[in-house]
Structure 1
Amino acid sequence: MTQTKTTTMTNSFLTQTCIDAASPDTKRRRFLMALAAIPLAGAISLPRTARAAAAGAVPKTAGATALIEGRDRWLFPGWESLTEDSTAACLNVVDLIGRVANKMAARSIHCAVVIAPLKARACADKLAEGTTLSTAVAGRYSALVARAKAIGLDLVDGEAALARVDTQEDATYIRADYHWSAHTAEAQADATAERLIASGALHGEKGGATKLGDWTEERNYGDLAELLPPERKRVIGKDRFIVRQTDSDGDALTAATPVVQVVGNSMVQPYLGFPQKLSNALERPVGLKWTFGDVGPWKTLLDYLESPAFKATPPQAIVWQFNEGQMMSGPGAVGQWDVASVMADDAWLARVTKALG
């Protein structure tokens, strides 16, 4: 069994415990958990060894048989069905999100929702010959956007944002990884910034924006490739992770109060640049609370709303991020979230209501 050691990172704002694993396969988590709740105002430092392939995006039971291999050595998560019609369940979840957004609005907090589109639809040209999406799955994202519009929920059109990505510079998703690319993360952040500005929810003077570094490239195995047997993993090969150069000042973190708070999973982790780009586009400090995908968006939001930071200084807006492949699962979805995160919808909503005051 791999032994882990616990390291405490401290600065003037943050004392956070992070887990550093001895195994190379788990080093991708190193330091990332320590960055999961920091405000991103000014330049942020991230260790060069940090990996976009966050292990928690992949179900603990997933293995090589849970993968779909496409053209040009592309990999897709097989646990996200390409055929099952879950649209009705997804729309029910959108309605629940809308109820929470209304409760936030009553506290003068604007809620903008970001849903990461299904990789298999975004990169359908890379699916193997004969592998196609059902009509229901192909049209599901549009149905989510339509429902959000109907109930007055501010939902960023993630598929429209994908069209902004220059695919001559980078793919929209990482070839053998679950995550979208850093260029896509930034396109989504730009689209989110536009929605927040248009909402009129942000007030006060601008200032405290994150500075963006130059683009650089790293080569690592994607998290989906890590599920393969060694010989097949070698065939799939390493991916190009094109990310922003990080600041060289070590652990320099700033303590500005966030005007906007991002709450989500590893799609919005600092390594891929979503919160930094959002801060830069808004010219305001942005906070971040992210957890790995098996924790789920419900528990992550609840943890933030019940935190001392929220109680002390509520933000003007919350950006709540989801994955489309999990949109059919509410707070009580046993088997989708880790056991500690599962709770009945009514119980979860009651705690959110109490936390919002």
Structure 2
Amino acid sequence: MKPIHFLDAGTVPVPRRRRLLLALAAAPFVAGLSFVPRAARAAQQAVIEGRDRWLFPAWESYVDDDTPACLKVVDLIGAAVGKLTAHGIHCTIVVAPLKARAAADKLPEGAALSPSVAQRYAAILAHGKQAGLDFVDAVSALANVDTSQDSTYIRADYHWSGHTAEAVADATADRLSAAGPLRGELSDPPALGDWTESMDFGDLATLLPPERRRVIGKDRFIVRDEPDGGGLLADAVPVVQVVGNSMVQPYLGFPQRLAHTLARPVGLTWTFGDTGPWKTLLNYLESPAFAKQKPQALVWQFNEGQMAFGPNASGQWDAPSIMAESAWLDRVEKALAQ
């Protein structure tokens, strides 16, 4: 049987629709957008307009130095990874780079990353390495994106492109393979669909007043078509489980590419940004699927712009996601022991 990626039953059941990126973007900004952290919803300016009609999220600063807080979060990640490791689960961490980092040349005229933010991603990886954590260098993976075919991030959207999602998936597969052999026999990888292109407004563009949205215009969304049958197998047992936010949703192709490269079944649990990585991990660890069959490895995905916020970051995550660090760690331990 060919190894095919498996979508967790708790995730969105229609995996390949453009509406997953837009989510609640048709709603007024003050009502809240599913990809926008709660703390940003009160911001007077939701979007920064850069060069060549590029848009950036105003709630993710490219000048403020929050590196010390990010390193404390890496320590918390390390505490959770230690618990996963004790239960025989390897954890690989992926941090999606700040859009302003990936497309710094498209920031507004005269704007640039501050020196502290420019060095922050490397500091996160270095701190993780010192703690013995397995971080993917997603910034280096950006160099593998063929920018003659696609940009690294979608021009007027919050998300990275389908080509970037696949480049980071390949880098993740390299890290997983370096950690040791995966369970199961290597066999034909699941098929990947052909690249397709459509035009639509990016989610950041939908935050603009109508007249500005028309000026910014629609984006090219280049993603893979679904192979025949959708590439899903409901009863496949994941060897690797991906846990993250909308950067790893199926529309952009991260889990499919990971399954293809590893030639192993890959599971997925994802939620939108204001749920946060801490509650999303609990959603998976406390699920019946995890209790029934634990994976050999877990890929835990974060956004760089949210790396300073732990599970107790009031105002950053939605109310059900907020909890004390100690309570969160207790729930992780309890779920692993079930």
TM over 0.5: yes
Q: Deviations over 1:147-187 (max 9, x none)?
A: 01100000000101111111111000000000000000000
Asked if the contact 2:191/2:231 (under 8 Å) is kept, the reply is: no
1:54 Cα deviation after fit: 4.1
Q: Do structure 1's residue 217 and structure 2's residue 197 form an aligned pair?
A: yes
Most deviating of 74-83 and 196-205 = 196-205
Alignment partner, residue 58 of structure 1: 36
Residue aligned with 1:328, SS: coil
Alignment partner, residue 328 of structure 1: 308
Alignment partner, residue 33 of structure 1: 12
Q: Deviations over 1:19-67 (max 9, x none)?
A: xxxxxxxxxxxxx7225xxxxxxxxxx4555443444212452677221
Distance in 2 of aligned mates of 1:59 and 1:101: 25
Alignment partner, residue 144 of structure 1: 124
Asked if the contact 1:116/1:321 (under 8 Å) is kept, the reply is: yes
1:211 Cα deviation after fit: 1.4
Most deviating of 202-211 and 254-263 = 202-211
Higher relative contact order (CA 8 A, sep 6+): 2
Alignment partner, residue 108 of structure 1: 88
Alignment partner, residue 311 of structure 1: 291
1:248 Cα deviation after fit: 4.3
Seq. identity, %: 64
Q: 2:274 aligns with which of 294, 318, 324?
A: 294
Q: 1:159 aligns with which of 139, 143, 146?
A: 139
Counterpart of 2:35 in structure 1: which amino acid?
Answer: A
Alignment partner, residue 88 of structure 1: 68
Structure 1, gaps ≥5 residues long: 1-12, 18-31, 36-45
Alignment partner, residue 169 of structure 2: 189
Asked if the contact 2:201/2:218 (under 8 Å) is kept, the reply is: yes
Q: Deviations over 1:316-346 (max 9, x none)?
A: 0000000000000000001110011000111
Distance 1:152 1:196, change over 3 A: same
Q: Do structure 1's residue 346 and structure 2's residue 326 form an aligned pair?
A: yes
Alignment partner, residue 257 of structure 2: 277
Q: 2:180 aligns with which of 185, 200, 212?
A: 200
Q: 1:68 aligns with which of 36, 44, 48?
A: 48
Distance in 1 of aligned mates of 2:217 and 2:288: 44
Distance 1:183 1:79, change over 3 A: same
Residue aligned with 1:114, SS: strand
Distance in 2 of aligned mates of 1:139 and 1:112: 22
Structure 2, gaps ≥5 residues long: 1-5, 25-33
Residue aligned with 2:282, SS: helix
Q: 1:234 aligns with which of 208, 214, 218?
A: 214
Residue aligned with 1:65, SS: coil
Distance in 2 of aligned mates of 1:224 and 1:314: 37
Residue aligned with 2:199, SS: strand
Residues matched between the structures, number:
321
TM-score, structure 2 length as denominator? 0.90
Residue aligned with 1:33, SS: coil
Distance 1:137 1:279, change over 3 A: same
Distance 1:48 1:121, change over 3 A: closer
Q: Deviations over 1:53-94 (max 9, x none)?
A: 444212452677221110010000011111111000000000
